[in-house]
Amino acid sequence: MKLLLILPILIPLATAAVCLLFWRHRKVQRLLGTLGSAAHLAAALVLLWAVRQEGIFATQLGNWPAPFGITLVADLFSAIMTVLAALMGFAVGVYALGSIDSNRESFGYYSFFHFLLMGVSGVFLTGDLFNLYVWFEVMLMASFVLLALGGEKPQLEGAIKYVTLNLISSALFLTALGILYGMVGTLNMADLSRQMSNGMHPGVVSTLAMLFLVAFGIKSALFPLFSWLPASYHTPPVSVSAIFAGLLTKVGVYTLIRVFSLLFHQDVGYTHTLILVIAGLTMVTGVLGAMAQNEFRRILSFHIISQVGYMIMGLGLFTPLALAGSIFYIMHHIIVKTNLFLVSGVARRLQGSYQLDKLGGLSQSAPGLTIIFIISAFSLAGMPPLSGFWAKLILVKASLDITGYLIAATALAVGLLTLFSMAKIWAAAFWGVPPEEATPVGEAIRFQLTPSKKMALYLPMIMLGLLTVTIGLMSEPFFELATQAAEQLLNPAAYIRAVLEGIK
């Protein structure tokens, strides 16, 4: 049991460390990286299975009893997120074998990639707020390095914005932590939840809630705080930006959902209504920003923002169905968005650019890629019967149930606009004729696709595409899982009991 909780953190750490030992041997690093991410995925799946069978479980590191030591705890939501992180780690890790250039490989791409996965898994599994901060920093540090690795000018510029804003966000998070500790005297999340529900000054609670909202809002790219995301996500190579797009903002969303369901649920009328308003604005601004763009990855980056709005919308509505919708949406979104970034990378390989006006006719030259793109793009826009449709349906249903007509209308309109910009990519890059200078240029020629590289590029995309279709056609078990996870989130008693077992 204890091991199950630690393994998803330990495996990436071991992989990264061993990769560092083989600094000069790129082939060994490739092998280790792949094996490591496969093992990580296996460990995460076992964890999910165990949590599903036996309910929430927790372990105290170093055997220090609960509110004093560091707790690792996995409920269904944590376990689902861990599985998704590991899955993306595996998919992007395999894709990187065929896509990352040898320079970045020899400067430790695989190590930092696994450090990133370790940080992400740590965030999902920890039960201690300060420990969460530490995992955040582990994750951020790895992402800083990955973002700047290679040192191209746009990358460095993007990294400056990313680094500065994320440091400010961490600073706010730490401020909130300090005040919270001063008020309550504990940082164990279960203990916090227990102590905060029996009477704290509501003004102080609201202030803290807002500090957390801003800190995590920057990390998950909410409405007025998202400017770092579209300024940086399109700068690094695809095998970096795909994992960023899939995981990093969702880590912010995870912490928001965790904190606002476990700690700050006393004044739902204030905090969660505010979250709902922000969700609507995030959706709209993100999708409008995307419509103004003409570059494959910039469009996708803006769509991350708008999609984060949907996930937060479920939290804002705060009913069991809505939270289940959020969790379902996260599952669907991580898979689809990562896949779209991977597709953009292959399109760039084939035609040498991310600019839509320099792409064209991919449906003729790369039919396989086209099918994968259709599945992911139309799922993102919410076309039935793909996964995005069900995700949006649940959220809209949940908001109609509590007469949130405005937010439901917003969600539907944003879905339509998403379809518009997906159709724009479709029309410019996949239909039409290839522009004259579409022959692969520069980098694309240097890395001509050998069959084995092609396989490394296509296998993860096919895997994620199939998964999208599976979630779409057989959504019942996934929805079931999301519902159970949402129920656990809304009844923190079980979580508290699991962590503080045997402690009065």
Q: Which residues bind other proteins (CB under 8 A)?
A: 130, 134, 137, 140-141, 144-145, 148, 151, 153-154, 156-161, 163-164, 167-168, 170-171, 174-175, 177-179, 181-183, 227, 230-232, 234-235, 289, 292-293, 298, 302
Give the CA distances from residue 450 to residues 371, 439, 457, in Å, rounded to whole numbers and listed in that order.
Answer: 21, 17, 11
C-beta of 394: minimal distance to other proteins in Å?
31
Question: Which is nearer to other proteins, 179 or 444 (by Cβ)?
Answer: 179
Residues in the chain: 504
C-beta of 166: minimal distance to other proteins in Å?
9
C-beta of 117: minimal distance to other proteins in Å?
19
C-beta of 478: minimal distance to other proteins in Å?
34
Give the CA distances from residue 100 to residues 234, 239, 353, 404, in Å, rounded to whole numbers and listed in that order.
Answer: 15, 6, 16, 46
Question: Which is nearer to other proteins, 298 or 333 (by Cβ)?
Answer: 298
Question: Which is nearer to other proteins, 157 or 443 (by Cβ)?
Answer: 157
222-260 residues labelled b (16+ CB within 10 A) or e (exposed)? bbebbebbbbbbbbbbbbbbbbbbbbbbbbbbbbbbbbb
- CB count, 10 Å around CB of 445? 10
**What secondary structure does DSSP assign to 159-218, as a single string?**
HHHHHHHHHHHHHHHHHHHHHHHHHHS--BHHHHHHHHHS---HHHHHHHHHHHHHHHHH
- Answer yes or no: are the C-beta atoms of 235 and 154 closer than 8 Å: yes
**What secondary structure does DSSP assign to 294-359, as a single string?**
-BHHHHHHHHHHHHHHHHHHHHHH-SHHHHHHHHHHHHHHHHHHHHHHHHHHHHHHHHS-SBGGG-
Joined tokens for residue 481: 């899982």
Give the CA distances from residue 343 to residues 78, 88, 144, 155, in Å, rounded to whole numbers and listed in that order.
Answer: 28, 14, 24, 20
Question: Which is nearer to other proteins, 22 or 130 (by Cβ)?
Answer: 130
C-beta of 230: minimal distance to other proteins in Å?
5
Of 242, 384, 258, nearest to 301 by C-alpha is 242
Question: Which is nearer to other proteins, 344 or 468 (by Cβ)?
Answer: 344
Question: Which is nearer to other proteins, 113 or 136 (by Cβ)?
Answer: 136
Question: Which is nearer to other proteins, 22 or 144 (by Cβ)?
Answer: 144
For 233, which DSSP code? T
C-beta of 463: minimal distance to other proteins in Å?
31
C-beta of 293: minimal distance to other proteins in Å?
7
Question: Which is nearer to other proteins, 298 or 392 (by Cβ)?
Answer: 298
C-beta of 391: minimal distance to other proteins in Å?
27
Gap between the Cα atoms of 80 and 417, Å rounded: 29
Gap between the Cα atoms of 54 and 49, Å rounded: 9
C-beta of 345: minimal distance to other proteins in Å?
18
Question: Which is nearer to other proteins, 172 or 278 (by Cβ)?
Answer: 172
